[in-house]
Amino acid sequence: MTTIDDFKKLDIRVGKILEVEDYPAARKPSYKMKIDFGSEIGIKQSIGQFTHYKKEDLIGKLVAGVVNFPPFQMGPAVSEVLTLGFPDEEGKAILIIPERDTPLGGKLF
């Protein structure tokens, strides 16, 4: 069973998507995204299966991401953060988006 101390080890922050491009090297359709997590964390790369969103619609969106996992090699690129989402009824990844404007780098508590 997971404890509150386990949960506190996760560093989940708010970021803003700056760039999105197709990432055909992934096994499943994916995007490679540059996400700004504010001055403390900086700009990080994430690879995620959010391809049912239009790339231009993702630019500027606030998202939640785990910033303290080790980098993960996905084909020739590295995913530095885990962008969080939930599956919809068809299994497509739906982004977790903060309800209101939240400062970049804001930490989930």
**Residue 38: pLDDT above 90?**
yes
Edge-to-edge strand order for the sheet containing 12-22? 43-48, 31-36, 12-22, 62-66, 82-83
pLDDT band at 99 (very low <50, low <70, confident <90, very high): confident
**Residue 87: pLDDT above 90?**
yes
Q: CATH topology for 9-95? A: OB fold (Dihydrolipoamide Acetyltransferase, E2P) (2.40.50)
**Residue 3: pLDDT above 90?**
yes
Q: Over pLDDT 90: what percentage of the chain?
A: 92
End-to-end CA distance of the chain: 20
Indicate the SS3 state at residue 24: coil
Measured torsion, CA atoms of residues 70, 52, 33, 49, in degrees rounded to the nearest 10: 20
Q: What is the pLDDT of residue 93?
A: 94
The mean pLDDT of 90-96, rounded to a whole number, is 94
Q: What is the pLDDT of residue 101?
A: 82
- What is the value of pTM for the model shown? 0.94
